[in-house]
């Protein structure tokens, strides 16, 4: 099985398979006649596992730790339970960041509907952006 075959079978791009190979999580054998990498059952199982873990928000490095724990025959489950808590916190944060950014953006768009375009001056580059920031700061300060 070569890189494109396994990629198609699992439903990812060849570049993704190459990436996980490059970082050492997949260890295909090498066809000596042409140097092509040969992926087998073990790699298929590993790749599926990697994708499942990615779906759950584990980082590529997390997965490396999980895999190497398992390789040593130890249960990776305790580590997995710890790591997902950390990743959940990060996800909450990126969720909150997205919410707040979205609020700022929609608020700006609405405000800008009432405002004209204006050429830049020595003081202002884009009055929409600069004035909105003042407004937002004022709101934030409770003014």
Report the interface residues with its own copies, using CB under 8 A. 45-46, 49, 52-53, 55-57, 66-67, 70, 73-78, 80-81, 84-85, 87-88, 91-92, 94-95, 98-99, 101-102, 104-106, 108-109, 112, 116-120, 123, 125-130, 132-133, 136
* 118 interface partner picked from DNA, its own copies, none, CB below 5 to 8 A per type: its own copies
Q: How far apart are CA 137 and CA 142, in angstroms?
A: 9
Q: Is 63 exposed, middle or buried (0-12, 13-18, 19+ CB in 10 A)?
A: buried
Whose Cβ is closer to its own copies: residue 21's or residue 135's?
A: 135
Nearest to 57 by CA among 30, 89, 33, 79: 89
Whose Cβ is closer to DNA: residue 97's or residue 115's?
A: 97
Beta strands in 26-108 (DSSP E): 29-30, 37-38
* 33 interface partner picked from its own copies, DNA, none, CB below 5 to 8 A per type: DNA
* 44 interface partner picked from its own copies, DNA, none, CB below 5 to 8 A per type: none
Per-residue CA distances from 48 to 45, 129, 130 (Å): 5, 46, 49
Min CB(114)–DNA separation in Å: 28
Binding site for DNA (CB under 7 A): 2-5, 12-16, 18-19, 28, 33-37, 54, 59-61
Q: Is 42 exposed, middle or buried (0-12, 13-18, 19+ CB in 10 A)?
A: exposed
29 SS3 class? strand
* 27 interface partner picked from its own copies, DNA, none, CB below 5 to 8 A per type: none
């Amino acid at each position: 099985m070569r890189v494109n075959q396994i990629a198609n079978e699992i439903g990812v791009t060849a570049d993704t398979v190459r990436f996980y190979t490059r970082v050492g999580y997949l260890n295909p054998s090498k066809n000596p006649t042409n140097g092509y990498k040969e992926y087998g059952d073990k790699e298929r199982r590993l790749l599926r596992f990697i994708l499942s873990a990615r779906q759950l928000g584990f980082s590529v490095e997390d997965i490396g730790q999980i895999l190497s724990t398992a390789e040593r025959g130890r249960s990776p489950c305790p580590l997995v339970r710890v790591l997902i808590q950390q990743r959940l916190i990060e996800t909450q944060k990126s969720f909150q960041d997205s919410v707040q950014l979205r609020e700022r953006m929609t608020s700006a768009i609405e405000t800008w509907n009432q405002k004209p375009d204006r050429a830049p001056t020595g003081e202002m580059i884009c009055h929409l952006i600069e004035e909105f920031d003042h407004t937002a700061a004022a709101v934030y300060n409770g003014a």
